[in-house]
Structure 1
Amino acid sequence: MKKISFITLCVFTLLIGCKSQITKIKQENIKTIPNKEHTIQALLWQQNAAEYKALTYQAYNLAQFQLDKILAENDFLKPLAIVTDIDETVLDNSPYSGKQVELDENYSSSRWAEWVKKIKAKEIPGALSFFNYAKSKGVEVFYISNRSATQTKETIENLKLYDFPFADETHVMLKTSSSEKETRRNNVRKTHEIVLFLGDNLSDFSSVFENHSTAQRNKSVDSLKAFFGKKYIVFPNPIYGDWETKGILEGKYNWTNSQKDSIRRKKITSY
């Protein structure tokens, strides 16, 4: 009996030890989920896939086709304008995302400012050719971006590096106190007729996409489906955007890495 009790005690102790070790391993795994691990594949695609470049050329070719159609079919009383976003629409900031992966860090305003000050963001394929074409047709370009207004000088210098037209303080409209863009778009409407909107984020096109859930954003896209490819030209950006922060992550910024990983997995559809 004593021998059996001793064996039982040993087995029980062993099981407790194993359970403790498994729990420890799980906790270590949770702690070591890299901050930007989930963006690596998207970043590799943007920086290397010929399909990405093909899509940006396609978007700008479509924009030029629509611009020609608009100019041929309409008479406007006011000067014409195109409103475009900057980041991931005109300028490629994927090296900043690469630095995030390298340093395993989330977004920080100081790191972003460091990148902007380098004035090294490259042209999105097709951008320069299209905007110069628009200028040749007498259409002005307004760059409405949520870069901070304190970065106006560096942003203009980066645009001028590639000779983008209308790279000046009148046409580059950055964020001051609010990230919503409708007020800035309305300021353009006071003097111009906006014929095209270009961007990688739905809020670049209309205020109906501001601060909404994934479900509501999708409903709004369905209701405005006739505008896409005609007045709204969308560019690919799988790395970041409202689709993730305000959609998948529900507008909350204090999730742990483990919680974010769990949320992403739960919102994947399988069969």
Structure 2
Amino acid sequence: MSSFSFRAAALSAAIICVSVTQPCFAKNTNDNTYSQKELNQQSVMAVLWTQVSGEYRALSYQAFNLAKMSLDHYLANRSGDKKVAIVVDADETVLNNSAYNAWLVTSGEGYSQTTWQQWMDAAQAKAMPGATEFLNYVKQQGAEVFYITNRYEKGREGTIKNMQVLGFPFVDNDHLLLRTDTGNKEPRRQQVLKNYDIALLMGDNLSDFSNALSPEGLDDTLAAVDNNKTLFGNRYIVLPNPMYGDWEGKVYQHNWRTTPGQKSDMRKGQLHSWVPQ
């Protein structure tokens, strides 16, 4: 996942509506007074689940166990003479940034590139459960790890420091492919493919795997996942992240500049509710 950079996107003015297949909702009448702090309270359970639940840890271990089995199968059945690599996202894939998200909740602040830069420089992200062991297993098997992340170049020093402290292998400029002029990861994946066969990819966002899996709309995204369902659990390994992601931007129709009140309405407008009879 990717990184938090997509939150800072400056796009067109919000259109407060949803498709006819979705429930209708009214614009927040207190839109001008609904604060970022109030909006952040909606994230409490997601951040709390990430930090304290055994289920979160179990899902992370499960993902890396699946990745190990997938890599073993790939190595046992591969042909060709290219070197082998795996590709992983950084944030919420091998790095757990929930402490930053918890700070957003407790401080009432919105995400900003300034505070995110401070977080990266602090190099305090924890490893996702099972990440360090798996990444070093990859190295032991003679394969390499490429970290394709949408952290910006100015975060390189803090990211390398953080990853090295956690004991990740291949933490160098050649294997850490940060965002430059675009958040599209496909050119960086193609860069790896020039010299390596990619055994598997790991991420928390669908765009960590293929652009085809992350079209513009919510319904189209669900259809894309269904059409590629056989890839998940073997070539594509997804990590749990309920805190943020590309999906949230689709809820806002890709306009991150909507107000806290509008975002709250848009979120609730996507809920499919049961109505007692």
Structure 1 gap ranges (5+): 1-25
Query: Pairwise mapping of residues 109-128 of structure 1 onto structure 2 (< 5 A)?
Result: 109-128=113-132
From 177, 180, 195, the counterpart of 1:176: 180
Cα deviation code 1:179-232 (max 9, x no counterpart): 110000000000000010000000000011345111111111011111100100
Which residue in the other structure is 1:162 paired with?
Answer: 166
CA offset at residue 131 of structure 1? 0.7
Query: Pairwise mapping of residues 1-271 of structure 1 onto structure 2 (< 5 A)?
Result: 27=30, 30-32=33-35, 34-210=38-214, 212-245=216-249, 247-271=250-274
Q: Kindly indicate whether the alpha-carbon contact (under 8 Å) linking 2:31 and 2:259 is maintained by their aligned counterparts in 1.
A: no
- Please give the alpha-carbon distance, in whole angstroms, between the structure 1 residues aligned to 2:198 and 2:122: 32
CA offset at residue 35 of structure 1? 3.3
Amino acid at match of 1:185: R
- Please give the alpha-carbon distance, in whole angstroms, between the structure 1 residues aligned to 2:131 and 2:30: 47
Which residue in the other structure is 2:10 paired with?
Answer: none
Which residue in the other structure is 1:13 paired with?
Answer: none
Which residue in the other structure is 1:16 paired with?
Answer: none
- Please give the alpha-carbon distance, in whole angstroms, between the structure 2 residues aligned to 1:254 and 1:209: 25
- Please give the alpha-carbon distance, in whole angstroms, between the structure 1 residues aligned to 2:237 and 2:69: 11
CA offset at residue 151 of structure 1? 1.1
- Please give the alpha-carbon distance, in whole angstroms, between the structure 2 residues aligned to 1:153 and 1:27: 43
* TM-score, structure 1 normalization: 0.87
Determine helix, strand or coil for the equivalent of 2:148.
Answer: strand
Structure of greater relative contact order (alpha carbons < 8 Å, 6+ residues apart): 2
- Please give the alpha-carbon distance, in whole angstroms, between the structure 2 residues aligned to 1:112 and 1:89: 17
| Structure showing greater Rg | 1
- Please give the alpha-carbon distance, in whole angstroms, between the structure 1 residues aligned to 2:30 and 2:178: 43
CA offset at residue 29 of structure 1? 9.3
Amino acid at match of 2:135: F
Amino acid at match of 1:241: G
- Please give the alpha-carbon distance, in whole angstroms, between the structure 1 residues aligned to 2:257 and 2:154: 26
Determine helix, strand or coil for the equivalent of 1:120.
Answer: coil
Q: CA RMSD in A?
A: 1.5
Higher deviation after alignment, 28-37 or 60-69 = 28-37
CA offset at residue 168 of structure 1? 0.4
CA offset at residue 250 of structure 1? 1.4
Q: Kindly indicate whether the alpha-carbon contact (under 8 Å) linking 1:82 and 1:141 is maintained by their aligned counterparts in 2.
A: yes
Determine helix, strand or coil for the equivalent of 1:87.
Answer: coil
Count of aligned positions? 245
